[in-house]
Amino acid sequence: IDFRALVEEVLVAMKLQFEKYRAVVSLSISGTDFSLRGDRLHLVSVLYNLLENALKYSPLPPHITLDLSHTEHHLTLKVRDEGQGIPAEYLGRIFEKFFRVPTGDVHNVKGHGLGLNYVAGVVRLHHGSIAVESKEGIGTEFTVMLPVK
């Protein structure tokens, strides 16, 4: 599949959702060949999940940046938001099944704690890796690396 085309397709499909939140979304691309062997349906779900999380956990209007690059051995996609961030003590657990960052008795955002576990599983099944960097009050960046060979 052409991963660049897939990313662009998902961004177009989410246009109404972005407009609803008045989101500012940008995509930068570095490289020319974004072909990889993968499951289109599951990779689309990975993209939706990361972008929906960026929308849900950001103040209005959300600012979301995607960076897609190609190196000799990997495609790298970074999805960055300027949202609430994830406390450092929970970063190591966010890919666990059913884990949600504790917020006391109040959950302002709906979810079951399955999305990031699913995302990490799909990335692993594609022989890739996923990493997260986050600072409370500043934002979060997910980095997905997928092999091209």
Whole-model pTM? 0.91
pLDDT tens for each residue of 38-96:
999 999 999 999 999 999 989 999 999 999 999 889 999 999 999 989 888 888 888 88
pLDDT of 107 over the 60 cut:
no
CB 114 within 8 A of CB 97: yes
Cα 73 to Cα 57: distance, rounded to the nearest angstrom: 32
Residue 36 token pair? 């990889």
Tell me the residue type at 69.
Answer: S
How many CB atoms within 10 Å of residue 28? 10
